[in-house]
Structure 1
Amino acid sequence: MYTRYLSRLFSAMAGPRPVVLSGPSGAGKSTLLKKLLKEYEGVFGFSVSHTTRSPRPGEENGKDYHYVTREYMQASIDKGDFIESAVFSGNMYGTSRASVQAVKDKNLICVLDIDMQGVRAVKTTDLNPIYIFIQPPSMSILEKRLRDRETESEESLQKRLHAAQVDMVISKDPGIFDVVIVNDSLDDAYGKLKDTLIEEIKKVQKTNLSS
Structure 2
Amino acid sequence: MSTATATSDPPAVPPRRGLILIIASPSGAGKSTLSRLLLQKNPDLTLSVSVTTRQRRPSEVDGIHYHFIDKRRFEALRDRGELLEWAEVHGNYYGTPREPVEAALLAGCDTLFDIDVQGTLQVYQALRPDVASVFILPPSIPELVERLRRRAEDDAATIQKRLASAAKEIPHWRDFDYVLVNDDLERSLASLEAILTAERLKRARNDLPAGGLVDELMAELAAKIAGS
- Which structure 2 residues correspond to residues 196-211 of structure 1 after superposition, within 5 A? 196-201=195-200
Shift of 1:201: 4.6
SS of the aligned residue for 1:123 comes to helix
Larger Rg: 2
Return structure 1 stretches of 4+ with deviation > 6 angstroms: none
Residue 178, structure 1, aligned to residue 174, structure 2: no
Shift of 1:193: 1.0
SS of the aligned residue for 2:121 comes to helix
Rounded Cα–Cα distance in structure 1 between residues aligned with 2:103 and 2:71: 23
- Which structure 2 residues correspond to residues 104-183 of structure 1 after superposition, within 5 A? 104=105, 107-128=108-129, 129-171=131-173, 173=174, 176-183=175-182
Provide the TM-score with structure 2 as the length reference. 0.76
Aligned to 2:81: 80
SS of the aligned residue for 1:124 comes to helix
SS of the aligned residue for 1:19 comes to strand
SS of the aligned residue for 2:26 comes to coil
The residue type equivalent to 2:24 in the other structure is S
SS of the aligned residue for 1:126 comes to helix
Residue 58, structure 1, aligned to residue 59, structure 2: yes
Say what the alpha-carbon RMSD is for the aligned residues: 2.0
Partners of 1:15 and 1:105 within 8 A in 2:
yes
Rounded Cα–Cα distance in structure 1 between residues aligned with 2:104 and 2:70: 24
Provide the TM-score with structure 1 as the length reference. 0.82
Residue among 19, 23, 38 paired with 2:21:
19
Shift of 1:94: 0.8
Shift of 1:112: 1.2
The residue type equivalent to 1:39 in the other structure is K
- Which structure 2 residues correspond to residues 66-105 of structure 1 after superposition, within 5 A? 66-101=67-102, 103-104=104-105
Q: Which runs of 5+ in 2 are unaligned?
A: 1-15, 210-228
The residue type equivalent to 2:134 in the other structure is I
Shift of 1:98: 2.5
Figure out how many residues of one structure are paired with residues of the other and give that number: 188
User: What fraction of aligned residue pairs are identical, expressed as a percent?
Assistant: 36
Shift of 1:105: 5.9
- Which structure 2 residues correspond to residues 3-42 of structure 1 after superposition, within 5 A? 15-42=17-44
